[in-house]
Amino acid sequence: NMEIIRTRDFRRIFQNKYVIFMGDSNMRSIYKDFILLLQKNDPINDSDRKAGGNKESICGDILLEGGIYKNLASGIEYEEKRVFMANIFLVKFIFLTRCRNDVTQRIFEEFKKDSEKPDLVVINSTLWDISRYGENGEKDFKINLPLCFDDLRTATTPTTIILWLTALPISAEPSAIVFDEKYRPENKYWRTQFLHINAFSAELAKKKNCEVLDVHYLFRQHPDMRDTDGCHWNSTGHRLITSYIAQTVSLIWHVPYIDRNAVDHKERELHGVCYRLINEENENLVKRTLTGETNDGITNFDLNAYLAEYIPIPNETRNEENSDRIGTIIGKLNETDRRILNLMDYYEKQ
């Protein structure tokens, strides 16, 4: 189990560091827990966790731009920029509705002009990118993300750590406003699509010389930490995410995590903090678990049964063209995808 970091060690890791968080409401909550832990060990309360641009100050920070200052609703034009400054700490949050648009271009230009470059940028915008921009959302995301990484690297320095977070796992029936079906009919089926989107973004980030923290992998087994809307996470979950971020950068900066000897950067995958694939050694165990050959007795995963339950086809679309449900609705899943989905269903029911 991951050991939760405490304020004393957290401050030691991030003293004299400039950190920027860029992303959606989940990233904003990660930012808020981060700055709270710089001050005290208390978990973030629900009021602060759910607050956003409607408050001028949260957890001791300051709303710089956007939010209530612009009276913007939660749409693709939304903007919000926050900052926390205290002695030897500087932390900022910038709301993203897309990984590359006029807002990010303006922000990156500001980065270039600023003499102080960030030591760490934690970024993810997957959910908004693929949910709010119509049927081409995923296609555009795959075009925009490499350009975003290039622009961000150009705007910072070679020593700046760009940490890409994969999209957190969602429930089978999320009710968060971002999943409103008026934006896109397939929204509630993205639990499956996230497997492919996260695999793409993680591999791309590594190719672009960025670090990756696969929170989707790490939190698939923790649906109990997810909020009732099926998308956001509770205070326990956010403190765990904060700890993973601290451990990741402590390994890179060669700073002890919780007063231990520094671990070499090359060994970070052994500590379960970076993107990884299921290795061959675990493959047989996973397979036995999924096929019911263990004491848990989990049954084989029937993808068509899964689709029939969660993605019913309207009567008017029942024709030969839609007979291949896997291909027409969520794309072709490989064997690993099926196993992961079965595990996700298993954990959801615990």
Co-location of 76 and 197 in the same domain: yes
Placement of tokens 């995923």 in the chain: 138
pLDDT at site 279:
46
* The token pair that represents 149 in the structure block: 């990484």
Co-location of 127 and 181 in the same domain: yes
* The token pair that represents 179 in the structure block: 């999943």
Average model confidence (pLDDT) across the chain: 79
Cα–Cα dist 54/74, whole Å? 11
Indicate whether 204 pLDDT > 70. Answer: yes
Indicate whether 222 pLDDT > 70. Answer: yes
**What are the respective helix, strand and coil percentages of the chain, to the nearest 5?**
50, 10, 40
Per DSSP bridges, beta strands 62-66 and 211-213 are: unpaired
Confidence band (pLDDT; 50, 70, 90) for 201?
A: very high
Indicate whether 320 pLDDT > 80. Answer: no
Residue 1 domain-assigned (yes or no): no
Co-location of 239 and 293 in the same domain: no
**Segments in the chain forming alpha helices (H):** 7-14, 25-39, 46-50, 102-113, 126-131, 137-155, 190-207, 215-219, 235-253, 280-290, 303-310, 325, 335-348
Co-location of 264 and 301 in the same domain: no
Indicate whether 210 pLDDT > 90. Answer: yes
What single string gives the DSSP state of each residue in 17-44? Answer: EEEEEEESHHHHHHHHHHHHHHH-SPPP
pLDDT at site 248:
96
3-state secondary structure of 105: helix
Taking residues 227-256, report their average pLDDT. Answer: 92
Identify the bridge partners of residue 158 per DSSP, sorted by sequence position: none
* The token pair that represents 109 in the structure block: 């230009």
pLDDT winner (highest mean) among 45-49, 171-175, 259-263? 45-49
Domain with 225, as residue range(s), is 7-271
Cα–Cα dist 33/23, whole Å? 15
Residue 2 domain-assigned (yes or no): no
Cα–Cα dist 170/323, whole Å? 27
pLDDT at site 182:
62
Taking residues 201-210, report their average pLDDT. Answer: 96
Model pLDDT for residues 65-97, shown as the tens digit of each residue: 988 887 766 788 889 999 999 889 999 999 999
Q: How many domains is the chain partitioned into structurally? A: 2
Model pLDDT for residues 285-316, shown as the tens digit of each residue: 544 444 444 444 444 445 555 455 554 444 54
Distances (CA, A) of 280 to 18, 261, 285, 301, 336: 39, 30, 9, 21, 12
Phi, psi of 332, deg, nearest 5: -75, 125
pLDDT at site 342:
73
Percent of the chain scored above 70 by pLDDT?
Answer: 71
Confirm if 124 and 23 have CB atoms less than 8 A apart. yes
Q: What angle do CA 261, 236, 67 make, to 5 degrees?
A: 110
Co-location of 253 and 294 in the same domain: no
Q: Domain with 254 in it: what CATH number?
A: 3.40.50.1110
Model pLDDT for residues 168-188, shown as the tens digit of each residue: 988 777 766 666 566 555 655
